[in-house]
């Protein structure tokens, strides 16, 4: 049984320019949600290095910390990139490129954010429970993220499209 959502009323009577503006607005809402998460994660990682127990971490934990920090900073750069890109192409008739670039920045940023969360989780779990258990738990959580952030939306995109939708 397939359920179809009703068409969005404004999609059928909007101009291409209006559609681009609407798409960009929707993208910015997505980015705002992701930015909050990446900002908290990066702040946690930056502060962690200045805690009293940080000098006691193992070599493995230090490596995981560096990976998490670099992934978090890289995700932050990509999730803020739409603002810089917009500023540089604003009023140049390049909204279609802006919408495409924002989609790419967001997808790449979310991927790096997922990996940064995974590395951060591995670091904390390695301190708390150690060894193989930390790795298995982290792998499970990363699969959970991958399922809801990527697999389900891709499945929906492939199987849930209406024939007359845009």
Cβ-Cβ contacts under 8 Å for 5 (sequence gap 6 or more): 162
Residue 165 in domain: no
Would you say residue 163 lies in a domain? no
Is 122 within the bounds of a domain? yes
Whether 7 is covered by a domain: the verdict is no
**Whole-angstrom distance, CA of residue 165 vs CA of residue 79:** 28
CB 69 within 8 A of CB 46: yes
Tokens of 64: 């995981």
pTM of the model: 0.82
Residues of the domain holding 92: 16-158
Q: Which two tokens stand for residue 37?
A: 């998460």
pLDDT in tens, the chain (166 residues): 555 555 555 556 888 788 877 877 778 788 888 889 999 999 999 999 999 999 999 999 999 999 999 999 999 999 999 888 888 887 777 778 888 888 899 999 999 999 999 999 999 999 999 999 999 999 999 999 999 999 999 999 899 866 555 5
Asked whether residue 76 is domain-assigned, the answer is yes
CB 104 within 8 A of CB 82: no
pLDDT at 98: 82
| Residues whose CB is less than 8 angstroms from the CB of residue 38 and which lie 6 or more positions away in sequence, other chains included | 72, 75, 76, 79, 109, 113, 116
Q: Is residue 6 part of a domain?
A: no
Count up the domains in the chain and report the number.
1
| Residue 1 included in any domain | no
């Amino acid at each position: 049984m397939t359920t179809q959502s009703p068409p969005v009323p404004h999609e059928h009577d909007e101009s291409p320019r209006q559609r681009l503006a609407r798409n960009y607005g929707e993208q910015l809402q997505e980015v705002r949600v992701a930015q909050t998460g990446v900002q908290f994660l990066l702040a946690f990682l930056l502060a962690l290095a200045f805690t009293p127990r940080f000098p006691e971490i193992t070599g493995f934990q230090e490596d995981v910390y560096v990976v998490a920090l670099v992934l978090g900073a890289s995700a932050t750069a990509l999730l803020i990139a739409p603002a810089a890109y917009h500023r540089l192409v604003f009023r140049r008739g390049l909204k279609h490129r802006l919408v495409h670039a924002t989609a790419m920045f967001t997808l790449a940023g979310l991927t790096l954010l997922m990996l940064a969360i995974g590395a951060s989780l591995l670091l904390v779990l390695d301190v708390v429970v150690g060894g193989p258990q930390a790795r298995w738990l982290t792998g499970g959580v990363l699969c959970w993220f991958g399922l809801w952030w990527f697999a389900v939306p891709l499945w929906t995109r492939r199987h849930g499209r209406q024939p007359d939708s845009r």
